[in-house]
Amino acid sequence: MTDTSSDDATEAERVTDDATDPASVTGPGTDHESLDPTEAALGARGLTKRFGELTAVGGVDLAVPEGELRAIIGPNGAGKTTFFNVLTNALEPTAGAVYLHGEEITGTPQYARPHDGLVRSFQSNQLFTEQTVHENVRIVAQTAEQGAFSLDLLGRGRDLATERAHEVLELTELDDLAEETAKNLSHGDQRRLGIAMALATDPSVLLLDEPTSGLGAVETETTADLIEDIQSELGLTLLLIEHDMNIVLSRSDRITVLHRGEVLTTGTPEEIRNDDAVQEAYLGERDEEGSL
């Protein structure tokens, strides 16, 4: 598992030093959630992470309904990745609570979150690079089943994991590359494999951290189409950190804007697009017709 503490501390410094005071860029409101966090598929109440005197995430409330595709946006240093790390308990929160399908999971260790249904996509540096694409997915699927098949005397766990791997590779359109070694994949296909490995655990809530980062225009659109299709077909609740605003505005059901570790506002893509404060702080100036 990658050590995130250094990156998160750096992000906290940006949050403290580089961002504008939220009071000067107030949007239409920060309390646009339609649900109480305890009633949502994924919720957070007062979620906070401090590194000494630096506050990377400051009292964030979140309530993502079942089946929603929610984007998390904000400038570098806004606290987005740290927020994901606290949600998954890669970092222990300083204060606040996390809820999954109404159950508080704040104290649940990171390794147990996938068993509860909360999964974060694998990054390229977390792949089993010397193994085939199929083996990467099968290993994760079998690990997810190890509680039920800890003895696995008849190999039933491996059989189920192999079946699950075939399903996931077909779903993510990687079946033609099943026997390719992971290290030989293109960057785009490695990102797709990371999503496939996450899906192998059969999540109900999936977190994706910049899944199109480093991709070209065509691969970005293909990956965005894939994510949208998977979310729709499986009925997943999906939380997405993404810098490509075309993707965010065209694919999200709702968008939460983080600023200096706090929620600036939450709304539909149209509400966010037309929010003057968000326009100025994150999305750039309006064109002559008043749109991005």
**Residue 228: inside a domain, yes or no?**
no
Higher pLDDT: 175 or 145? It is 175
Q: How confident is the model at residue 277 (pLDDT cuts 50, 70, 90)?
A: confident
**Residue 75: inside a domain, yes or no?**
yes
Q: 52-70 pLDDT, tens per residue? A: 999 999 999 999 999 999 9
Cα dihedral sign, 222-225-229-230: positive
CA angle 92, 96, 98 (to 5 degrees): 75
Q: Is 137 within 8 Å of 167 (Cβ atoms)?
A: no
Higher pLDDT: 283 or 36? It is 36
pTM of the model: 0.82
Domain housing 66:
37-114+240-291
Is 212's pLDDT higher than 70? yes
Q: 184-209 pLDDT, tens per residue? A: 999 999 999 999 999 999 999 999 99
- Burial class from Cβ neighbours inside 10 Å (0-12, 13-18, 19+) for residue 129 reads middle
Higher pLDDT: 186 or 149? It is 186
Question: Which of 5-19, 22-36, 227-241 has the highest average model confidence (pLDDT)?
Answer: 227-241
Q: Which residue has the tokens 């998954």?
A: 88
**Residue 202: inside a domain, yes or no?**
no
Predicted local distance difference test score (pLDDT) of residue 11: 52
Alpha-carbon distance of 243 to 239, in angstroms, equals 13
* Domains in the chain, number: 1
The CATH number covering residue 267 comes to 3.40.50.300
Q: How confident is the model at residue 278 (pLDDT cuts 50, 70, 90)?
A: confident
**Residue 147: inside a domain, yes or no?**
no
Is 288's pLDDT higher than 60? no
- Burial class from Cβ neighbours inside 10 Å (0-12, 13-18, 19+) for residue 176 reads exposed
**Residue 235: inside a domain, yes or no?**
no
Q: Of 265, 259, 258, which Cα lies nearest the Cα of 18?
A: 259
Q: How confident is the model at residue 144 (pLDDT cuts 50, 70, 90)?
A: confident
**Residue 63: inside a domain, yes or no?**
yes
Q: 224-264 pLDDT, tens per residue? A: 999 999 999 999 999 999 989 999 999 999 999 998 899 99
Q: How confident is the model at residue 30 (pLDDT cuts 50, 70, 90)?
A: very low
Is 82's pLDDT higher than 80? yes
**Residue 208: inside a domain, yes or no?**
no
**Residue 232: inside a domain, yes or no?**
no
Predicted local distance difference test score (pLDDT) of residue 122: 79
Q: What is the mean pLDDT of the chain?
A: 84
